[in-house]
Amino acid sequence: MTTRTLAVVSAGLSNPSSTRLLADRLTAATVAALRARGDDATVEVVELRAHARDLADNLVTGFPNESLRGAVDTVSGADGLIAVSPIFSASFSGLFKTFFDVLDKEALVGKPVLLGATAGTARHSLALEHAMRPLFAYLRAVTVPTGVFAASEDWAGAGGVDRALADRIDRAAGELADLVSGRPAAARPVDPFADPTTDFGELLRGS
């Protein structure tokens, strides 16, 4: 049994949030789908609200601090990604966009990604297709065909979730599991500055 790593990015601003709730539902369904395909899974969650100031600092300095570096490495080194954002004014949140702005431009190339979004009204549902999917196409990620949008009314069904939403979650999770299980396990990214081989003492002595 191969162990796959799933990174989960949640850009909800409140605690608790419907964005994190959807992310958790998608994660549980994907883990179950992977196990049905003979793969185990470990999950690493990145709550962007905890990195809001770190992201602002990264924008002006050009470098992530230690805390944000851990989140960036989690996403870069995962076998698959679940990315969920609240929708504001018909698009993803600024916090969500900022995180993917500071990733290395090659970090998501070829990576399987499941997209999810939440909002107070179903009027925002097309934001998955006209805003989120183009962003990940630009980053050259491989997004699954089914994006999962949840409006407030979708949480009112049996077990706290509408049947149609539950079906979309299961379908998208199966699509992500199909992509992840068919790939070699991802290697964790290596920070080229973490273990320098240059002897700076020798450089200072002019040798």
Predicted local distance difference test score (pLDDT) of residue 161: 77
Q: Whole domain around residue 166: which residue ranges?
A: 2-204
DSSP state of 13: -
pLDDT of residue 188: 53
Read off φ and ψ for residue 202, nearest 5 degrees: -65, -40
HSE at residue 14, side-chain half, CA atoms within 13 A, is 8
- Whose tokens are 């080194």? That residue is 77
Say if residues 8 and 82 touch (Cβ distance below 8 Å).
yes
Our count of domains for the chain comes to: 1
Residue 202: predicted pLDDT: 57
**Token pair 């909800």 is at which residue?**
12
Give the model's pLDDT for residue 206. Answer: 58
For helices 52-61 and 66-76, the axis angle rounded to 10 degrees is 90
Cα–Cα distances in angstroms (integers) from residue 117 to residues 40, 103, 104, 194, in the given order: 26, 20, 23, 35
Interatomic CA distance for residues 86 and 19, integer angstroms: 6
Are 25 and 169 in contact, with CB atoms under 8 Å apart?
A: yes
Chain mean position to CA 23: 9
SS3 per-residue string spanning 27-75: HHHHHHHHHHCCEEEEEEEEEHHHHHHHHHHHHHHCCCCHHHHHHHHHH
> In terms of Cα–Cα distance, which of 104, 76, 40 is closest to 187?
76
Output the domain CATH number for residue 81. 3.40.50.360
What pLDDT is stored for residue 12 in this prediction?
95
Give 10-residue mean pLDDT values along the chain (207 residues): 94 92 97 96 97 96 95 97 95 97 96 96 92 97 97 77 91 98 66 53 57
